[in-house]
Structures are given as C-alpha cells and as structure tokens.
Amino acid sequence: MPDAGGQSHKTDVIIIGAGPVGLFAVFELGLLGLSCHVIDILDRPGGQCAELYPEKPILDIPSRLKVTGQELTDDLMAQVQPFSPTFHFQQMAEKVEKLDNGHWRLTTDMATVVEAPVIVIAGGGGSFTPKKPKIEGIEAFEGTSVFYSVRKMEQFKGKHVLIAGGGDSALDWTVNLNPIVASMTLVHRRNEFRGMQATVDQMYALEKEGKVNLQIGDIVRLNGENGQVSSVTMKSKDTKEEVELPCDTVLPFYGLTMKLGPIANWGINLENNRIPVDTEKFETTEKGIFCIGDMCTYPGKLKLILSGFHESALMAHGCFHYARPDQKLRFEHTTSSSSIQAKLGAS
C-alpha cells in the first residue's frame, strides 16, 4: 500500500530502501510477525534493478537460470504481499530522532513521520539523486517550473509539459501524465529509447494520435523569467537549427546518481561511505539501527544480491528482540510450520 506523505505512522520496523534486499527483508520480518514501512526515493520498488537495468539478465540468483531486474522485483513484491507493507515512494529519509521510549522517529522530506523500535538501512549504495542537465541558469527555475521527479500527478494537471530524456522514467511519465496535461512534448537526443518496449510503443501511439509532440535534439536553453519557464530552445539533431518549444513545465529525466545522503549525518560510524555492522545480526554502532545490502561493510563482504538476502534473514532475527522484547523468538521452517504456511496462503 503506497502513501503520499505528510502523515504519521507507527510500525515494528522502518526499512530504508525498496530494492531487492529491502523487499526480501520485508518477507523475513513478516515471517516473524513484524510489520514494516518502507521508504524509497524512487517512484517504484526495485532500486537499482528496476531503475538501472530492468531488462538486463541477472544470472546469480539461486534456482533462477536467468531473471531480469524487473522480473525479480515483481516476484519479490508478490512474495511480500501477504504481509501488507506500507510503501512511501518518492520520499527521502531525512531526519532520525531517538525517543524517550527507546523507539526511533524518522521524518522524510515529504513530512511523513514513522515511529518504530527498529530502523533497517537497505539503501544499496545510497540515495538516488537526479542528474541535472548542463543548461545555464536552470537553477532559477527549479522547484517552480522545472522538476526532477513527479511526486503528485495532480500538480501537473492542465500544464503544458515538456519531458526530456529517453529512459523508463521519461517514457512512463510521458504516458501516465498524458491524460491530465494540456499538452505534452517529449525531447530526446536520438531516435532510440532505453525504456521498456511496451512503453515505447505506447508513446509512439500517443504521438500518432497527436497527443505527444516528439522532438529529436538537445535542449540548449530555458526561456522565461521569475522562475517560470515559457519555452525551451532545442537544437534539432537533423537540421542543426534551433527550435523553440512552448511549455510552462519541464521535467528532465537524465538518469540518476547515488549519494549517501542524510544517513551520513545520523551519528552512525562510517568506513569509506559504508556502514560497518556485526555479522551476527547486522546491527550498526547505533542500537536498534541495522544495515543490510551494498551499504553495509564487514570482513569478507561481497556486494551481491545473494549476500543481501542472507543478511536480511539474520537481521530479522536481531530485530525481533527490539520489536517484541517480552516475547521469545520461536524459529520455524517454512516447510514445516503450519502457521507460516497459513500466513503465506500455502497451507
């Protein structure tokens, strides 16, 4: 279940990162009866797998001869469905406070507040941040008429939107925003697109219907004043001439880079921008904060999804004693536990 932001919640475990390792952590925690809220800066689950290589085959997942990043994400989402996690997409974990009751209060950049006895950092290499186009003066328009993500679709209703880019995000929002905008222009520097073919086909269908103005070229200038874009100047790839494209909103989707983000300021010990953990339960130097996946480090660490799955299982058992201090942890196998099988609908 997604959440749009600005609300307060309580749960057993807050997971930062909705990549494969974060999603499998939801499953492992769910087996122990622990509920989760998951926070991710992207607009969908899957992390690097879904954002950077959704169609690239992954060859080292046990029992899967070949699986794409998107297929793995879809299967993990289906696996956690019985535990009904709450997802907070397009939000960054910004502030963490220790409460008098021993719990943690986490606040996102969208004013969502979640309280829990446990935080699990599963953010891969860090938070994704957008790659900004090298256009002089673009900063003057940011946050007013230039946006690097779509957090609330309603914000763009009736707007004359220009989207720049050729990947999944650019194509997805060209298609998804199309029904509510006044006009839609898509600018890409070449005729080939990097997104999923089904979405590329949808975009071309909209172009054929006159609902998308597809332009091939490079944006060289934003025109407007007082933070409001009035048009974009593009250099055409074919004619090399400058073309003015009217618009009042620009969405550049030029890819993402990864940075550690606000986590670096939470008081956790760091080694080369990675978080040291013990290998018994993957807890950090801060009691009640755990770290799994590519962001954690320990002797012999391998940056593999497989390793992250193993770390998730041990982490879940370490979390249980914080979330259920008055209960004894009962270890059960999914193959023989009727209660677990009932939870998963497999009895």
Whether 347 shows a pLDDT value over 70: the answer reads: no
Q: For residue range 291-309, what is the model confidence (pLDDT) as tens digits? A: 999 889 999 999 899 999 9
Amino acid at 243: V
Model confidence pLDDT, tens digit, residues 177-208: 999 999 999 999 998 998 788 999 999 999 99
**What confidence tier does 55 reach under pLDDT thresholds 50, 70, 90?**
low
Q: What is the pLDDT of residues 127-156, one digit of tens each?
A: 566 788 889 999 999 999 999 888 678 899
The Cα 138–Cα 222 span in angstroms is 7
Buried b (16+ CB within 10 A) or exposed e, 13-47: bbbbbbbbbbbbbbbbbbbbbbbbbbbbbbbbbbb
The pLDDT-based confidence of 52 (bands split at 50, 70, 90) is low
Instruction: Give the position of tokens 């290499």.
Output: 125
Question: Residue 274: its pLDDT value, please?
Answer: 84
Position 33 pLDDT exceeds 80: yes
Pairing verdict, β 86-89 and 36-40: parallel
Q: The tokens of 23 are what?
A: 């999603």
CB 93 within 8 A of CB 106: yes
Which one has a higher pLDDT value, 154 or 120? Answer: 120
Return the H-helix or E-strand segment holding 199: helix 197-208
Q: What is the 3-state secondary structure (H, E, C) of 122-161?
A: CCCCCEEEECCCCCCCHHHHECCCECCCCCCHHHHCCCEE
The band of 2, judged by pLDDT with boundaries at 50, 70 and 90, is: low
Q: For residue range 214-252, what is the model confidence (pLDDT) as tens digits? A: 999 999 999 999 999 999 999 998 889 999 999 999 999
Tell me, yes or no, if the pTM score tops 0.75: no
d(CA 346, CA 335): 10
Q: Are 299 and 278 in contact (CB under 8 A)?
A: no
Give the model's pLDDT for residue 73: 94
Instruction: With CA atoms as reference, report the closest residue to 158 among 185, 177, 176.
Output: 177
Of the pLDDT bands very low, low, confident and very high (cuts 50, 70, 90), residue 113 is very high
Question: Sorting pLDDT into bands at 50, 70 and 90, what band is 90?
Answer: confident
